[in-house]
Amino acid sequence: MILFANAKLNIGLQVIAKRTDGYHELNSVFYPLPIYDIIELLETTAAETTLNIQGERIPGNLHDNLCIRAFELLKKDYGIPPVSIDLVKQIP
């Protein structure tokens, strides 16, 4: 599966209220930009999900990466097996 994660320019952001789940209600105005990162999910026989990044490296702990966090939520809810995630960074 190949996904395209488009960039956007946030023009305005208003924090409305804090929700009971710790997140916030927001109002935002943004402009979509014609650049994107490419995310490819591939079947794997590995015991754990892996993330391979091409382009600009993203500093930090692998398990804090949004690709990994989103996949782990889907895995928990739907019991899907580990995958190899290829991320091509094109958004600075």
CA distances 2 to 5, 22, 35, 38, Å, are 10, 31, 15, 7
Tell me the domain boundaries of the chain.
2-6+34-88
Q: Is the pLDDT of residue 58 over 80?
A: no
Span 26-42, average pLDDT:
96
Each residue of 10-30: pLDDT tens digit?
999 999 999 999 999 999 999
Torsional sign, CA 56, 51, 71, 69: negative
